[in-house]
């Protein structure tokens, strides 16, 4: 990761927002960790997994839960809301949107700030993972966590739903 972080333009433009998403958003540290690690798994991003597995442990995610993140929302042992969080990441990655069912489940516990932060956490780390993967960024040598090599890669999501006919978010007054 160090190589990429030395690019001044990237640091100036992206890192303050990355810091917000990782450390300051309205999501709990545990929920952030679940989303970020699921994105790292979905995109096969080794440096993101290596850095964020350590951070996840600091947020109270156990080693067995970190492994289960790779297994996905279908793995046994998740509480229902965390299953939905992992499903959010899978749906956004695969379908570029989430189902009404996923949105409603998240809305039962999250306010609009939480919902937007959850979606943006997934989106932001999808983009960063694409950048890291394309540039060949490697995990720092001192980080010991690696993507589980013995977990089968699978994503199980429902088909993309038709485009929304009405906004899920109340628009601001005016034109767009």
**Each residue's pLDDT tens digit in the chain (176 positions)?**
444 444 455 555 667 888 888 888 999 999 999 999 999 999 999 999 999 999 999 999 999 999 999 999 999 999 999 999 999 999 999 999 999 999 999 999 999 999 999 999 999 999 999 999 998 989 989 989 999 999 999 899 999 999 999 889 888 888 76
Rg of the chain's alpha carbons, rounded to an integer?
16
Q: Using CA atoms, how far apart are residues 50 and 67, in angstroms rounded to an integer?
A: 12
Burial zone of 82 (CB within 10 Å; 0-12 exposed, 13-18 middle, 19+ buried): middle
Q: Give the DSSP per-residue string, 47-96.
A: HHHHHHHHHHHHTT--HHHHHHHHH-TTSTT--HHHHHHHHHHHHHHHHS
| Pick from 7, 9, 19: nearest CA to 55 | 19
Residue 11 is predicted with a pLDDT of 52
């Amino acid at each position: 990761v160090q190589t990429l972080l030395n690019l001044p333009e990237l640091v100036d433009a992206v890192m303050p927002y990355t810091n917000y998403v990782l450390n300051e958003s309205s999501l709990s540290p545990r929920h952030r960790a679940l989303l970020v690690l699921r994105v790292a798994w979905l995109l096969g991003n080794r440096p993101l997994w290596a850095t964020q597995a350590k951070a996840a442990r600091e947020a109270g995610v156990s080693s067995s839960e970190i492994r289960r993140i790779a297994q996905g929302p279908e793995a046994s042992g998740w509480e229902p809301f965390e299953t939905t969080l992992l499903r959010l990441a899978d749906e956004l990655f695969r379908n570029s949107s989430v189902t009404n069912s996923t949105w409603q489940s998240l809305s039962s516990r999250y306010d609009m700030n939480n919902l937007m932060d959850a979606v943006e956490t997934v989106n932001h780390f999808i983009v960063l993972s694409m950048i890291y993967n394309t540039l060949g960024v490697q995990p720092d040598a001192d980080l010991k966590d690696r993507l589980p090599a013995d977990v089968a890669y699978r994503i199980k999501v429902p088909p993309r739903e038709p485009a929304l006919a009405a906004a899920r978010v109340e628009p601001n007054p005016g034109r767009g």
